[in-house]
Chain A
Amino acid sequence: QKEVEQDPGPLSVPEGAIVSLNCTYSNSAFQYFMWYRQYSRKGPELLMYTYSSGNKEDGRFTAQVDKSSKYISLFIRDSQPSDSATYLCAMTVYGNNRLAFGKGNQVVVIP
Chain B
Amino acid sequence: NAGVTQTPKFRVLKTGQSMTLLCAQDMNHEYMYWYRQDPGMGLRLIHYSVGEGTTAKGEVPDGYNVSRLKKQNFLLGLESAAPSQTSVYFCASSGLAASTDTQYFGPGTRLTVL
Contacts and interface: CB of A to CB of B under 8 A. Distances in A.
A and B together in one complex: yes
Interface of A: 4, 6, 8, 31-32, 41-46, 49, 88, 90, 92-99, 101-104
Interface in B78-114: 90, 92, 97-100, 102-108
B90 A44 contact: yes
Q: Categorize the interface residue count of chain B.
A: 20 to 34
B43 interface: yes
Given A43-B90, A43-B107, A46-B103, A98 B4 contact: no
User: Considering residues B42, B48, B100, which has the most beta carbons from chain A within 10 angstroms of its beta carbon?
Assistant: B42
B29 to A, nearest CB: 13
Contact of A103 (B42, B58, B98, B106): B42
B1 to A, nearest CB: 15
By secondary structure, the A interface counts as loop
B98 to A, nearest CB: 5
Given A8-B40, A95-B97, A97-B97, 16 more contacts: A4-B42, A41-B107, A43-B92, A43-B107, A43-B108, A44-B105, A45-B105, A46-B102, A46-B103, A88-B43, A90-B43, A96-B97, A97-B99, A98-B98, A102-B42, A103-B42
B56 interface: yes
